[in-house]
Structure 1
Amino acid sequence: MLAGLPLMCHVDVSDATHHVRRFLTPLLGTPLTTEGMEEGTFTLWFYEIKYNDGNPSNKVYGMAHPCTTFECAECVDPSEDEITKAISNHTFSADLWTVDIAKLQAKEKTDAANEREIKARQRQLVNDTKATIDLQALHEDATKYWSDLKLYRNIGHVQYAEAISVDVEGGTRYTSDWAAFVADEAKVKDEFEGNVVDLGSKYSPYGLTHMFNPPGGGSTTFKFPYHRKLRIEGCATKEDLSHPAEFDSEGQHCLMVGKNGNTTDLTIGRYAGLVSFTRNQAGIESIELGIYNSGDRFAEPFSAKGDSGSLVWHSTNDKARIVGQIHSAQNKGGSTSNHVTYCTPGWYLLSQIQKRFKYADFYRTTWSA
């Protein structure tokens, strides 16, 4: 058993701590690091039904990008002062509402409109005051119980890791770049929900649904899920990725995809059914899924440094299927922003995991059977 408290539960966006506590919950997109390594993004969970020899197992594994030197997987805070900034924001707003209320109440003449303004600001003051109290409590807990990365934030021990490789021998030329750690039951079990993406509060339900429309006004299969929690329930096949089912306004096949990463949080991209050919520093050519930015001129790049390991998914109705795992990206011209993001196909990634963990179940929703 590892030291420290169990991971925190996911809370609704009505809770002021929703976004800043995400790095201490077991939902997908959690920032991870390993001793002496850069941060990356947690990819997915899988349940081991049986050991490879057929004997029963009840282990839960987490999967992320590998390293040959680490021993423990650790949750990390994507921004050390993120909670402090949120506290300052709500405190500042509360001070403004207090001043506004005093000025409105000091008016010699009051009418119904004036009273409505006072009541509206009083409600906002109450909300910001409560948010400040909740965030301060979270900050106190994080400082007291989670501040020591090595002592308190270990959530498991690495079971398997190998160096990044390209499948030249098998002929696919896909990149394999993953490691598996055994999740510590005391740390993870209580709040474990399986592979669930928190769509967060970055976009409104309407705004996010609109972003999943293919460029030019094509129709979308995305349906905003209950509680903003999108469950991964399957994986796109090789055929699905070769012939995407959606169309843009020009009749071109595409899939609008999403990912939740350590650096850029929730972003939307476009997969056009085409693979990309890349060459690494050793001169080895690989084949990748190319995920382009969404095409919306106001949208941010699909990925950035620190998003490696993020799961890329496509949503149909209120569920999602795996498309791939991010491992690199490339910018365009003199731009410092990524133009295309490279992914290992999800179906290939899962097949590689099952070569090592024969009875892996990627869609279990509870810790135990």
Structure 2
Amino acid sequence: MELTPFVVTDDISESYYKGLPSNPRLIATTHPSTIDSPSDSGHSAVLKEIRALGDHSLASVWDKGLATSICEGLNTMHVNWTSLDALTIAKVGDESSGLATVWIGVEFGALSYEEGSNVAHRILQGIIGQWHIEDCRVEIRESRVMRQIGNKFLNLVHFNHATFTIRSSYTATLGSPISTKDRLWDEGTGGFYFSAGGNDSNIYLVTARHVVLPLGQDDNEEYKRTNDNKLQVVIHGTSSFDENLAAFDREIKEKESVIEDIQDRIWLMKDKNDFVWVEARILEEKNMQMEKTELEQLNLLRKDIATHWEGAENRVFGELVWAPPIIPSTEPGRYTLDLAVIKIDPGMLDAENFLGNTVNLGKKYNPLELTQKVHLHSSSPPSFKVPGNRLVKLEDQVPEDALFNPPMRDADGDADGGPCFIVFKNGGKTGITFGKANNVSSFTRTCLAGEYWELKEWPVIATNQESGAFSAKGDSGSCVADIFGRVAGILTSSSGATEFADVTNVTPISFIMQVLTKRFPQAHLSPTLVVPAGEGTSAT
């Protein structure tokens, strides 16, 4: 038995499990003699394979209490473990059965090599040793358990596809309505993605705390996800799911009406044989075929949503991992803290459906209408260009000094235009809207549990009288961006006499990142998807 636990190195970690479907990273082993040879340190390709445990003595006690004891031990040590197996791992081509292995999977970044080594030896000596099993080892690797029958975010489609806009809320673009699985009637909006950096390869989504932990429904204590405390988050609460299906039905009926109208016109031309009428009939027949294709696309997606996404358990896309308490502030340089972090389930994302912090502008407005909403003075620097695919990629963040020193000038008002800061968002309730940020803070006063709180936030108003409200109830948590394609903050509250806001309040991204980096020191706004090799397996 090792007196001084062996500690894995980066070199060994990356190469040790070569040959396994997902090539996971080794975190710890209690049997380092298997990596003494240079070949296991990356100097040559030594491939390994997983084999059944067979009739090893471990098999006789595994399901009679040993496995349960290991699980309890991991929980007592507060290890964020993901899987536990008893099997054999051997070198490819090795005729020997290999060494029996108690194989523990942990979440990415959950344990350092030193911590892993300590956990592995405590399991081997403190638990397995009590069952008098000696000829086995404990190994820990990073692992995810994926829901094989679960849904992924839908792939994006071409702008001209009939479902381009209506599928948006089921994609990984920003602005989807979200809710918690246990409170489907309370809805908000997903904000922006970030990567934690370092050894943590997860993708996280930021929203407002009160979206997932409603005011007055919790103790406003810091929320930390534990194995005994898991809060799942879903795409679409009950109301928005039903509204989305109703929107499908409206589009389908409109499409059917268009097809019927074309058919009537074709019938009226059936006896017309001169060149002009023949050409017109051919054109109408092509149009009808195109409309029928689009109707089929709508019907297929509508059926898929109704069949595979209806149950709330099928709409789970992540779980809440951290939410600091809501903290009011009126201090200079600080804002009210209303923040929650959701870890995206790895199975939801892949290289086809994830484009980072991207906003789908949809088809509600054509390029000219979108440009007119960004009504800037000619002296302002070039800013908003409508992409042909309507997908706006957000990069970087709005600097704090821009909040009070607007970087552009408005075309309204006097000849020179006044200072302004045009922003936009995609909200779960109101969709794509544009607004104008005020260059002084907004202060609100709200009563919670009999106590009045005074809050300072960054205000956004309508760009003009015709533009309509920037937000409404259900948009909380939305990512607000500026027209230079930078993340500006998240929407946290609003004020008005109805559910539509006169003034929308935003927590600036500069303040959010100050808070996030205390919990995630290397957090950044350019999330990169890391898809482990062999992701199609049930536990990788």
**Do the two structures share a fold, i.e. TM-score over 0.5?**
yes
SS state of the match for residue 392, structure 2?
Answer: strand
Question: In the TM superposition, what whole-angstrom CA distance separates every residue of 1:35-68 from its partner, at most 9, and x where no partner exists?
Answer: 2151111101111212xxxxx2211111222234
SS state of the match for residue 166, structure 1?
Answer: coil
Task: State how far apart, in whole Å, the 2-side matches of 1:121 and 1:163 are.
Answer: 61
Corresponding residue for residue 286 of structure 1: 455
Equivalent AA in structure 2 for residue 267 of structure 1: T
1:25 aligns with 2:193: no
Question: Displacement, 1:127?
Answer: 2.0
Question: Displacement, 1:160?
Answer: 0.6
Corresponding residue for residue 351 of structure 1: 514
Equivalent AA in structure 1 for residue 361 of structure 2: L
2:335 counterpart (174, 187, 194): 174
Task: State how far apart, in whole Å, the 2-side matches of 1:219 and 1:207 are.
Answer: 19
Equivalent AA in structure 2 for residue 73 of structure 1: V
Residue range with higher mean Cα deviation, 85-94 or 170-179: 170-179
Corresponding residue for residue 269 of structure 1: 435
Residue range with higher mean Cα deviation, 357-366 or 199-208: 357-366
Corresponding residue for residue 324 of structure 2: 162
Corresponding residue for residue 249 of structure 2: 84
Corresponding residue for residue 405 of structure 2: 243
Task: State how far apart, in whole Å, the 2-side matches of 1:83 and 1:217 are.
Answer: 43
Question: In the TM superposition, what whole-angstrom CA distance separates every residue of 1:156-207 from its partner, at most 9, and x where no partner exists?
Answer: 1211123422135x65451211211211111223422111111111111121
Question: Displacement, 1:266?
Answer: 0.5
Corresponding residue for residue 204 of structure 2: 61
Give 5+ residue unaligned stretches, structure 1. 51-55
8 Å Cα contact 1:4/1:146 also seen in 2:
no
2:301 counterpart (138, 147, 154): 138
1:40 aligns with 2:206: no
8 Å Cα contact 1:213/1:219 also seen in 2:
no
1:94 aligns with 2:263: no
Task: State how far apart, in whole Å, the 2-side matches of 1:188 and 1:322 are.
Answer: 21
Equivalent AA in structure 2 for residue 176 of structure 1: L
Corresponding residue for residue 304 of structure 1: 472
Residue range with higher mean Cα deviation, 207-216 or 247-256: 207-216
Going from structure 1 to structure 2, the CA distance change for 1:91 and 1:48 (only over 3 Å counts) comes to same
2:483 counterpart (304, 311, 315): 315
Equivalent AA in structure 2 for residue 301 of structure 1: A
Task: State how far apart, in whole Å, the 1-side matches of 2:301 and 2:280 are.
Answer: 31
8 Å Cα contact 1:325/1:343 also seen in 2:
yes
SS state of the match for residue 298, structure 2?
Answer: helix
Corresponding residue for residue 253 of structure 1: 419
Going from structure 1 to structure 2, the CA distance change for 1:171 and 1:213 (only over 3 Å counts) comes to closer
Question: Displacement, 1:226?
Answer: 4.2
8 Å Cα contact 1:166/1:173 also seen in 2:
no
1:74 counterpart (234, 238, 249): 234
Question: Displacement, 1:97?
Answer: 0.8
Equivalent AA in structure 2 for residue 196 of structure 1: T
Task: State how far apart, in whole Å, the 2-side matches of 1:118 and 1:165 are.
Answer: 67
- Of structures 1 and 2, the one scoring higher in RCO (CA 8 A, sep 6+) is 1
Alignment of 1:318-329 (within 5 A): 320-329=485-494
8 Å Cα contact 1:192/1:367 also seen in 2:
no
Going from structure 1 to structure 2, the CA distance change for 1:367 and 1:31 (only over 3 Å counts) comes to farther
Going from structure 1 to structure 2, the CA distance change for 1:148 and 1:9 (only over 3 Å counts) comes to same
SS state of the match for residue 201, structure 2?
Answer: coil
8 Å Cα contact 2:434/2:463 also seen in 1:
yes
**Percent identical across equivalent pairs?**
25
What RMSD over aligned residues (CA atoms) do the two structures have, in Å? 2.4
Question: Displacement, 1:210?
Answer: 1.8
Aligned length: 354
8 Å Cα contact 2:459/2:506 also seen in 1:
yes
8 Å Cα contact 1:47/1:59 also seen in 2:
yes
Corresponding residue for residue 374 of structure 2: 212
Task: State how far apart, in whole Å, the 1-side matches of 2:340 and 2:429 are.
Answer: 20
Equivalent AA in structure 1 for residue 174 of structure 2: L
SS state of the match for residue 310, structure 2?
Answer: coil
1:4 counterpart (112, 129, 150): 150
Equivalent AA in structure 1 for residue 348 of structure 2: K
Task: State how far apart, in whole Å, the 2-side matches of 1:234 and 1:219 are.
Answer: 18
Task: State how far apart, in whole Å, the 1-side matches of 2:367 and 2:361 are.
Answer: 9
Task: State how far apart, in whole Å, the 2-side matches of 1:81 and 1:105 are.
Answer: 36
Task: State how far apart, in whole Å, the 1-side matches of 2:517 and 2:249 are.
Answer: 42
Question: Displacement, 1:115?
Answer: 4.2
Residue range with higher mean Cα deviation, 118-127 or 285-294: 118-127
SS state of the match for residue 252, structure 2?
Answer: helix
8 Å Cα contact 2:397/2:487 also seen in 1:
yes
Equivalent AA in structure 1 for residue 483 of structure 2: S
Which has the higher Rg, Structure 1 or Structure 2?
2
SS state of the match for residue 441, structure 2?
Answer: strand
SS state of the match for residue 97, structure 1?
Answer: helix
Question: Displacement, 1:130?
Answer: 0.7
8 Å Cα contact 1:220/1:246 also seen in 2:
no
Question: In the TM superposition, what whole-angstrom CA distance separates every residue of 1:124-161 from its partner, at most 9, and x where no partner exists?
Answer: 31222111111111122112211111x21111121112
1:340 counterpart (485, 503, 514): 503
Give 5+ residue unaligned stretches, structure 2. 1-145, 219-229, 533-540
